[in-house]
Chain A
Amino acid sequence: GAVVSQHPSRVICKSGTSVKIECRSLDFQATTMFWYRQFPKQSLMLMATSNEGSKATYEQGVEKDKFLINHASLTLSTLTVTSAHPEDSSFYICSASSGFSGLSTDTQYFGPGTRLTVL
């Protein structure tokens, strides 16, 4: 149980275009979803947290106008990278939690990640 999927797994796009990445909880309702970014040989960095039906909360330094997050349902969150540039190339990972408390005790279930390459 507790499976999270991401689509696509890999995407290549031209500079200036927008890319949408989907994150789905397949067998549970995700009240909270998280988006991370992982650079090569570095740790996962939290970008933003989204609660179903609410605006996402972005971490300091993350451009909310560039990384648009929508959590329209309890099973789907999307991350749209707008006007992508080569420096946005990275591995993007989502996670989902069914907890209502929003505390660290709520287990996060992670998707397999999306490799974005911007040419």
Chain B
Amino acid sequence: AQSVTQPDIHITVSEGASLELRCNYSYGATPYLFWYVQSPGQGLQLLLKYFSGDTLVQGIKGFEAEFKRSQSSFNLRKPSVHWSDAAEYFCAVGPSGGYNKLIFGAGTRLAVHP
């Protein structure tokens, strides 16, 4: 079955520290991969996406993610976290070249200590 796993429900980091949010997927073929961020009272915002090509993708707000086919992973990273990064982060997969149907992980809530 197609699924997305975000192993960490909640993560706390200090401001200025590096961050890595994990995402693993189970999919029949190479999927399209997405990371979204959800702040309170706001809709999910697309941080970055991977369709093909370079497996290291750059996104907005200083985030990047690396697609590792052998590990079925698409982890999100940021070298230095800002207090404004506190939010919920969702990893999602969609069929490459297929119908626009996203499967989301359960999300990781990020807290940032000053």
Contact = CB atoms under 8 A, between A and B. Distances in A.
Interface in A81-119: 93, 95, 97, 99, 101-113
Nearest to B94: A104
B63 interface: no
B32 A105 contact: yes
B67 to A, nearest CB: 15
A83 to B, nearest CB: 28
Contacts of B9: 41
A102 B99 contact: yes
Interface in B64-97: 90, 94-97
B43 A46 contact: no
A107 to B, nearest CB: 6
A41 B8 CA distance: 12
Contact of A102 (B46, B51, B100, B105): B100
B43 A44 contact: no
A53 to B, nearest CB: 18
- Classify chain A: how many residues form its interface, as a range: 20 to 34
B17 to A, nearest CB: 25
Contact of B96 (A4, A43, A104): A104
A110 B34 CA distance: 14
A88 to B, nearest CB: 20
Nearest to B101: A46
Nearest to B97: A103
A108 to B, nearest CB: 7
Contacts of B94: 104
A105 B31 CA distance: 11
A106 B94 CA distance: 11
A80 B46 CA distance: 27
Given A9-B41, A49-B101, 16 more contacts: A41-B106, A43-B4, A44-B90, A45-B104, A46-B102, A49-B100, A97-B100, A103-B97, A103-B100, A104-B94, A105-B51, A108-B100, A108-B102, A110-B44, A112-B41, A113-B43
Q: Give me the 8 closest cross-chain CB pairs, A-B, nearest first.
A: A104-B94, A110-B43, A110-B44, A43-B104, A104-B32, A44-B104, A43-B106, A112-B43
